[in-house]
Structure 1
């Protein structure tokens, strides 16, 4: 028999093309699509982001809901605020969140007026607050910058008062209704009861923004 002549017009497919078209139906290993790989990467990134958020809000920040009207007009009841607590040291003018302590039935939000060793004086006739003999300008956070005597029958401290070591003197911005360091039942607040500094209003969105000192 004569050997069949090869047709010069028929050429073998390139090796690379044969490899591309060659698929083994018995190959058990799946080949994920680009879409599947992209989904896995997206989920992985989302999980890592959630872990980071949990760590931040466990050790660095927390969200607290304002309860009451003692910080009007700057903070309203129901506002959700972000509080930073990592190595926080109080400064005059800061808005802080305090744990429930003796004299307080729930956590409260107040403004730091005086620090350890400072002397506070309140004159309800002139409506002024002084620290170490210097009158404070509070016009940026209380109405007309005037401090009114609280409307209460409870016992109030007599001024001037010197803040002891490890304590702070706090007031609410709504001075007529605020239960704060002016009350004998509350007095100077131990620094260990400070949860942290109120940094910003998170919700409602219409009130979103930083909380000023």
Structure 2
């Protein structure tokens, strides 16, 4: 469901009703007679929809985490806020960048429209920037030939399934975060899709090596062996970017999650 489009349609309808009532209908009604209900309600909702549409389009937008691909950073059921302007001002509905501000950086948790189906929103961590050579071979990440250091940080207990996964601390750019890497899971990438710039990647039994094309980003989930990401469906084009996730504002199953983000 394209909620931005629905809001835009409601905005247009209520704006028309407000203009119609303010400049035409009100002047022709008998003194003291009430406005028709459809005019009254439509016109009264107009300022509310303007505020909601403006905030959601240019400031922050709420999202709910639907899968476990970003565990342990984000859990299923987390409600998060996404900064809509940090990567530039984009026109709502058409998502066209109108003003460039900052570019995504390695380590950012980014929301974007899924390249294979732009009607869906995905969330992953930015690993590779335009021009980077990203290698994920035998469960080790290298960027431009340099291995990204990781340190063991105990085991992570999955609360819903009651089993443990090896947990590591990884640092991408200036951002330190936790990742899960299953030692027993195979290293090769299964069910690779035929995506744009597929020729930039080489797949082996040990994993994948890619050169990120201009205007695109390579993203991965923190739950490395349970994430469908750039290793499977390719690069995220700049025009698909929605914003930067920065805050957990609610979780019905765990109120201690409120305010957390690593």
* Corresponding position of 1:15: none
The whole-number CA distance in structure 1 between the counterparts of 2:237 and 2:184 is 23
Shift of 1:154: 0.7
Q: What SS is found at the alignment partner of 1:57?
A: helix
Change (3 A) 1:166 1:146: farther
Q: Which residue is equivalent to 1:168?
A: 217
Which of residues 129, 140, 154 is equivalent to 1:115?
129
**What runs of 5+ residues in structure 2 fail to find an aligned partner?**
1-46, 88-102, 151-168, 170-176, 194-200
> Residues 174-193 of structure 1 correspond to what in structure 2 (within 5 A)?
174-183=223-232, 186-193=233-240
C-alpha distance after superposition, 1:87-122 (max 9, x if no partner): 412110000111132167731110000100010011
**How many angstroms does 1:55 deviate by?**
3.6
8 Å Cα contact 1:171/1:182 also seen in 2: yes
Decide whether the 8 Å contact of 1:129 with 1:147 is kept in 2. no
The CA RMSD measured in Å over matched residues stands at 3.1
* Residues 69, 221 of structure 2: 8 Å contact kept: yes
Q: Secondary structure at the residue paired with 1:58?
A: helix
Instruction: Report the TM-score, using the length of structure 2 for normalisation.
Output: 0.54
User: In the aligned structure 2, how far is the partner of 1:155 from the partner of 1:58?
Assistant: 33
Evaluate the alpha carbon distance shift between residue 151 and residue 160 of structure 1 in structure 2; reply closer, same or farther with a 3 A threshold: closer
Report the Cα distance in structure 2 between the residues aligned to 1:175 and 1:104, rounded to whole angstroms: 23
Q: Scaled by the length of structure 1, what TM-score is found?
A: 0.65
Query: What is aligned with 1:203?
Result: 250
Larger Rg, first or second structure (1 or 2): 1
Unaligned segments of structure 1, at least 5 residues: 1-47
CA gap 1:165/1:78 in 2 versus in 1, 3 angstroms: same
Secondary structure of the equivalent of 1:182? helix
Alignment-derived partner of residue 68 in structure 1: 67
Displacement of 1:137: 3.0
2:181–2:225 CA contact under 8 A, matched in 1: no
More helix, by proportion:
2
Structure 1 distance, partners of 2:184, 2:249, is 28
SS at match of 1:160: strand
8 Å contact from structure 1 (residues 128, 146) kept in 2: no
